[in-house]
Amino acid sequence: MKFNIRLKLIAFTFCIILLVGGSIFLYSIYQGRQRIFASFEKESRETTAVISNTIINDLYFLNLRSMRLQLRSIRVNPDVNYTYVTDPDGVVLTDGTGGNPREGQRLTDSFSEAMFRSATWVSRREERLLKVGGPVLAPDGGRIGYLQVGFSLDFVDQTVREATRASLYMTIVCLVIGAVLAIVLSTSFTRPILSIVRASQAVGEGKLETRLRVDRGDELGFLAAATNQMAEALQRRRAEAARLLAETKRNLEGIRALHEIDMAITSSLDLRDVLNILLEKIELFLPYSTATVRLFNVETGLLEPVAARNLDEAEWKVEQWKPGRGPANAVFETKAPMVIPDCQNDARVRDPEFFRKHRLVSYLGVPMVAKGEILGVLSFYTKEEHEFAGEEVEFLTTLAGQAAIAIHNSKVYEKLAKVASDLSRSNRVKDEFLSVMSHELRTPLNVVMGYTGMIRDGLLGNINSEQEKALEKVISRARDQLAMISSILQATHLEAEGVRVEAREVDLEELLADVRSNYAIPLGKELSLIWDIPSDLPVINTDGEKLKHILQNLINNAVKFTDKGSVTVSVRVKEGNRQQAIDGQDGTGNRQRSLMLTPSASSLTPSWVEFKVADTGIGVARENLTAIFERFRQVDSSETRRYGG
């Protein structure tokens, strides 16, 4: 075992050294190669620039002989593989080597094309060559040709090989040194590690008295000391394990009881049901003889008894409940739990005879608090003296909090139900008031209109033209008021569901002719009313009066809000199935307002009628579209609004 630990430590250390050394070796090779190539590329660009400067004059005057001699002299450099000089069009003037392409041919490879497009020197590595090229510029800055030089990479590869060889030798030396150090160090660490392992095994087998000798100041010494501390801690915790296990079981049972009680009391919103379920579950899960609930009455300002378990509730309410009497009131005032070990002899109890009669001894009262407000007190009694421990009081306080939330929700529900009932009653009163007032206002308004019409028609004496105009305005305004009263009356009938649809066959041509006749008189505006109605309208099955009323309302609204321009009323018959008509969509998916047709005897194809009223008036803003069908609602409801109604 000693040999295995030592061998693993040596192998691990050697692997780390090998990994680090290998990484450094590979990185140095990569970086060295990059630096060598970058240096060679820089020198090659500089050499190419020097060559360019030497041939500027010969290229400018096309002295090919002299330029060829200069290029051949450059070949003395072993790194220069070839040179090409071209005219501005890329045609080779001289290659200095007699290679391929020859003089007179155009350079067409991709590097040459990139060189022709570039304004500076460009370079590219291709196989065993580094190509460098660029434009040759005249003194005035104009391009007089291009120079391309191919440099051999043999020198670069040789330099890289030498650098790699040197790095490899250094890496091998470092690995050998690291391996020796690993062997030496492993020996000094193996022995204390084995001692710690044997001690840990003994502790694991239950021999918690095992201790290690600590004679080192490094991490292994700290580990040995920590092992001793662990053994001591395990000895202490072993004594607590049984107690914690029993306590955990009790807590789990308590959590289960709390969960079941919470689920039960939140299953109902009726206050009495909540209290009955609460006391029933307390009796089922908790070993107490009696439990009671008192709730604070905001109206009376008293803590009133409302429910009890295993106790004569009627007697308890009469005997126990008096203002300011009993320990429950003290719990309510302090908002803190109260424990009384012996209720029959404690001075804080005002009526000990009641406890003696029912043989109640110990008492615990906990406040029921929800959302920071105390709602009442939950009390527990035992028939034998019982010491309520801190954990028990905490558990019952949590239970009281859950009960308080359920009671709070029940009270909120009762308030909401009462508010809903009051609102429903208020709506009925409002509808009845509007209906009665509408009926009462129509009668005198009809009388006013009748007598005013008689005066205007001269039945009660002659009148002049100005008086006739004034009476006409009175009749017009009275007619508007009568229409408004009728609309209110219809709204109340709709709200009370007193309006029924009376469907029958309706001839659309006759109905629209009747509607059109109401607008035969001038509108008093620069406004034209256009009727786009086909001549072959069918007979439909609907409530004609209500359809007529809807169309008139739409047309009147369009006329009201259009000062000039036109109002167009159009009717179209469209084919489609019943679902499309109900959804208000045509075949293209566009939203429409529609009515179903009753198929005639000659055609059973389902179809529907589309009515449209379009105007050139002020329109309705998009954000107000959702409110236009609400009762008694206008987009502009200010006192300075331009349009009435």
pLDDT tens digits, 586-637: 444 433 344 444 444 445 566 788 899 999 988 888 888 877 777 666 766 6
619, with CB counted inside 10 A (0-12, 13-18, 19+), is: exposed
Using the predicted structure, report yes or no on whether residue 253 has a pLDDT greater than 60.
no
pLDDT tens digits, 314-345: 777 765 555 556 788 888 888 899 898 888 88
Q: Which of 74-83, 198-207, 390-399 has the lowest mean pLDDT?
A: 198-207
Binned at pLDDT 50, 70 and 90, residue 581 comes out as low
- The pairing of strands 564-575 and 526-532 is parallel
Between 204 and 378, name the one with better pLDDT. 378
Between 432 and 352, name the one with better pLDDT. 352
pLDDT at 571: 92
Answer for the pair 581, 591: CB distance below 8 angstroms, yes or no. Answer: no
Identify the CA nearest to 332 among candidates 292, 385, 283, 369: 369
What's the average model confidence in pLDDT over 289-295?
84
Distance separating alpha carbons of residues 337 and 331, to the nearest angstrom: 6
The answer to pTM > 0.75 is no
Beta bridge partners of residue 559, listed in sequence order: none
Quote the radius of gyration of the chain (alpha carbons, Å). 53
Beta bridge partners of residue 340, listed in sequence order: 363
Distance separating alpha carbons of residues 77 and 100, to the nearest angstrom: 20
Q: Using the structure block, give the residue that is written with the tokens 């679902």.
A: 579
Distance separating alpha carbons of residues 369 and 398, to the nearest angstrom: 10
Using the predicted structure, report yes or no on whether residue 519 has a pLDDT greater than 90.
no
In sequence order, what are the residues at sequence separation of 6 or more whose Cβ sits closer than 8 angstroms to the Cβ of residue 213? 224
Answer for the pair 79, 149: CB distance below 8 angstroms, yes or no. Answer: no
Distance separating alpha carbons of residues 446 and 147, to the nearest angstrom: 110
* CB half-sphere exposure, 216, CA atoms < 13 A: 17
Supply the DSSP symbol for 630. Answer: S
Distance separating alpha carbons of residues 154 and 76, to the nearest angstrom: 16
Answer for the pair 598, 606: CB distance below 8 angstroms, yes or no. Answer: no
pLDDT at 614: 93
Distance separating alpha carbons of residues 2 and 440, to the nearest angstrom: 113
Distance separating alpha carbons of residues 286 and 378, to the nearest angstrom: 14
> Could you tell me the two tokens for 465?
């033209």
Supply the DSSP symbol for 523. Answer: -
Supply the DSSP symbol for 372. Answer: T
pLDDT tens digits, 130-182: 888 889 888 888 888 888 888 888 888 888 778 778 778 777 877 777 777 77
